[in-house]
Amino acid sequence: MATEIESLLEYALNVGASELIVTEGAPSAVRLSGKVCSIPDAPAIAVGGLREILTSMEGESGTVMGSWCGSKWRVRYYRAALGNAAVFRPVLEECPEFTSIGAPESINALLGISSGLVVFAGPTCSGKTTTATSYISALCQSKILRVSFLTEKEIPVKCDPCLVLKDDSGDIEQKVEQALRSGTDLIWLGDFDGQALIPVLHAAEAGALVVLNVTAGNAVGVIDALIGAVSTENRDLVRNMLASVLKAVVVQRLLPSTQGGSTAAWEVLFGTQNVAAKIRNGEHFTLPSILAASAADGMMLMDDCIIELANAGYISAEDASRYVANPARLG
């Protein structure tokens, strides 16, 4: 059974898939340019097949790292209707340079930030973790920092000559507190799933640079996800804290390229006074109008980027119409 799954992993690598999706008792699939596609003639994996290859599957869900077919994989497993299911995601062997990832030049300004909150966002398999890791790596190479990684590093981070503080005990809140007591300059939280937001924002207020990932399709979705992670009685507090510490939100989305493979579309939001006021007043739903009018400040609206890619021929008009909020603008 392990051999069958390894064959599927080999197929995923050969076609350039960003994910292999295996569900016991059901056909397997791959994610290509953001779309889930079935694998031709792929056999259904029998119940127990995933446990055979992963060996360690504690609880109903979890994440493990493994190496198969000459590549490193991050595997998220969970229970499905027919049996276990898992999503295999290939992991880069080394971190790309931040200035070479194809992002808008304006995000290079993030390298000058020393405190506050920076969020990298996008849908599943959009490359946000790679972008965030390359940013962390660039910061660590540009100055001597005390760094705390509160997440397992999928991609090796170039940390020399920084001091990496290690503390594997306790929950996120305890780790953030320990990082602050140790005088940490940079906290890399990894994927945000609603955990301990207020302590994380306190760390940003205290002078640390906090970096995290959020699964969201645009900047408004990021703010919604963060505010929605706390109880109703704490939301006014979180709005005020976010307004004071948010430095930038960088959203990316992978779209099918007319040249084959994928091309990235971007949205960039900087924490200006105008943006802070909208967040503080609960009017962050109006941020797209600010993004559209702030190109001179380095901001970018996702719709504008997608339309620009379509006009330049990098993506088809049909694909662009699927992703823009206002397809009428494609004309």
Per-residue confidence (pLDDT) for residue 249, from 0 to 100: 98
**Position with higher pLDDT, 284 vs 175:** 284
pLDDT for position 278? 97
Mean model confidence pLDDT for the chain? 88
Query: Residue 153: what pLDDT?
Result: 64
What confidence score (pLDDT) does residue 94 get?
A: 74
From the list 2, 6, 22, the residue with the least C-alpha distance to 78 is 22
Give me the long-range contacts of 276-284 (CB less than 8 A, separation at least 24).
276/243, 276/244, 276/246, 277/243, 279/223, 279/239, 279/242, 279/243, 279/246, 280/239, 280/240, 280/243, 281/239, 282/239, 284/220, 284/223, 284/224
How large is the average pLDDT for residues 165-193? 84
226 has a pLDDT exceeding 90 = yes
* pLDDT of 331 above 70: no
Please report where in the chains the tokens 């992703």 appear, as a residue: 323
- CA dist 17 and 36 (Å) reads 10
pLDDT value for 1: 55
**Cα–Cα distance, 54 to 77 (Å, whole number):** 9
Contact assessment for residue 89 and residue 70, using Cβ atoms and an 8 Å cutoff: no
Percent of the chain with pLDDT over 90: 46
Q: Are strands 209-215 and 186-191 parallel, antiparallel or unpaired?
A: parallel
Q: Quickly count helices (H) and strands (E) in the chain.
A: 11, 13
The pLDDT assigned to 89 comes to: 87
Element (H, E) at 72: strand 71-79
Q: Give pLDDT, residue 154.
A: 65
Rounded mean pLDDT, 249-277 = 92
Highest mean pLDDT (candidates 40-44, 60-64, 287-291, 323-327)? 287-291
Listed ranges 53-62, 63-72, 274-283; the one with the highest mean pLDDT: 274-283
CB atoms within 10 A of CB 149: 20
Average pLDDT over residues 193-219: 93
Query: CA angle, corner 175, sides to 172 and 177, nearest 5?
Result: 110
Q: Are 121 and 128 contacting, i.e. CB atoms less than 8 angstroms apart?
A: yes
Q: What is the pLDDT of residue 152?
A: 67
Q: Tell me: the pLDDT tens digits for 110-132?
A: 999 999 999 999 988 788 988 99
Structure confidence by residue, pLDDT tens digits, 35-54: 788 998 888 888 888 888 88
pLDDT digits (tens, 9 = 90+) for 266-320: 999 999 999 999 999 999 999 999 999 999 999 999 999 999 999 999 999 888 9
Averaged pLDDT, 148-162: 74
Q: How far apart are CA 154 and CA 156, in angstroms?
A: 7
